[in-house]
Each structure stands twice: as C-alpha cells, then as structure tokens.
Amino acid sequence: MNPLDEMFARCRSEGRAALVGYLPVGYPTYEDSVAGMLAMVDGGVDAIEIGVPYTDPGMDGPVIQVAVDQALRGGSRVAHVFDAVRTVSARVPSVVMGYWNPVEKYGPARFAADLKAAGGAGAITPDLIPEEAAPWIEAAREHDLAPVFLVAPSSTDERIAAVGRVNRGFVYATAVMGVTGARREVGSRAEELVARVRAQTHLPVGVGLGISNGEQAAQVAGFADAVIVGAALVAALRDGGPDAVRTLTEDLAAGVRR
C-alpha cells in the first residue's frame, strides 16, 4: 500500500478525518522550514505537503507567494525538496506540492525516481490536468507514487470523473474559487463538491484553501476525509517560528478529532 492509503485507513479506523499541513521548503531558511514541518508532526498532522518553491505561483495568495519568493532568493532548489522529504517521511507520509514546470524541467521520470528514493508518497500538481499528464502518470505508476490532481466547485462531473480515474491517494478538492489563503469562513460549496466527488470515485476527498483554525477544521472534518491547511501554517511560521506552527497544528488536530 502507498503510505497515503495506510494513513487514511488508520484515520478511518479512528473515526475521524486526516489533517494535512503544508509548508514550502526554504522559508524563511531551509533549516527553519524543516523545523516547521517537524513541529507540525509534533502537533498532530497525519501527512505533510512539502512545497516546491516556484517563480510563478499563480494559484497562491500573498502569504505563500512571499514565502516561496524568499525561499528562492535564499537558494532553495528541488534538491532541497528531496532532502526535506527524506527527513519528514521518516515520521509521517509526505507528498510534494508544486507547479508542473519544475517537475517537467527536472524530468518526470527522474523526479519520480528521486521522490520515491527520498521516501515520498506522491505529488500534488495544481496546474496540471490529467489529459496533459501522461508522462507524469506513467512515472508515478512505475515508482508507486500517488499523482494527485485538483477539482474545484466549477469542475464538471466529467472532469471530476476523469480526475477520479487517474488519482491515487486522494482527490484534492478546493473549497473556494480563487487563490490560496486563510479565510474567515470555509467556502459554502465545499460540502456539495465533496458529495459530487464521492459520486464519481471511492478515493478519499481532502478539502483545502481557506482553513485557518480548529473550528473550521472541525467543520470540514464533518464532511471530508482530509482537512488541508497551508497559508495559515506559513503565516504561523513567519510570525512565531516552529513553536507557533506546533500550537496552531495542535488546535487544528483537536478540530479534526472532535
């Protein structure tokens, strides 16, 4: 089984949703980013999205944009991502989260081989669609990795079905239309989207974009298989370092367990 399958099976046996946290590699430094990831583990995450810094993060809001820009200016590269995966995956399942261009430049087959060697479970590619992903899907299958594609409230049933056929691990459902970033309320269409995805696939469904506290995490955990948190954790690392990341993660983890 892929580590993600094992993780979701464990969470189901405990009668709860999984908590997945995101941080980009290299922000504010490489050492700080890994310390933040390990703080998330100590705080109770079930899996970690390890962000690949990229020069044009068009789907991300200002918090993550500023973070990845600083990471790149500090010298963060794909090789550092694999180093972080190697450290984190010894504790919890890890998937990389990144735009397609760096993967394509690195070479899909080489990227998959190096990700697997580092202990990674898969990769989320937010700007790649299944119809244009044949090289990556093939490389992921060869190395037993989970290719994870996104669906949104605007996705048609046909699009959701296409994603369900090729995804492994889980389906990433974006709760709102727009860029990433913590919000006061979870998108009202999130629960409807999860139901639509479940009508097309038996894969677990994770909901992300906008979740920033334990109360919101509990709300999403009531209808989704995974609660995914990104910008709020990046802001916590920015404002209070790994200790703040651990404190926020503990609140989020308590939320998914309520």
Catalytic residues: 49, 60
Helix (H), strand (E) at residue 23: strand 18-24
Residue ranges of alpha helices (H) inside the chain are 3-13, 30-43, 62-73, 78-88, 100-106, 108-118, 134-142, 157-166, 190-198, 214-221, 231-256
What is the largest distance, in Å, between two alpha-carbon atoms of the chain? 44
Residues 6+ apart with CB under 8 A from 15: none
Residues 232 and 216: beta-carbon distance below 8 Å: no
Q: Which amino acid is at 171?
A: V
**Would you state the structure tokens that stand for residue 55, as one six-digit string?**
């020069």
Count of other CB atoms within 10 angstroms of residue 117: 12
Distance between first and last Cα of the chain: 28
Length of the chain counted residue by residue: 258
Residue 24: is the preceding peptide bond cis (ω within 30°)? no
Enumerate the β-bridge partners of residue 78.
Answer: none
Angle between helices 108-118 and 78-88 in degrees, nearest 10: 30
Residues 128 and 149: beta-carbon distance below 8 Å: yes
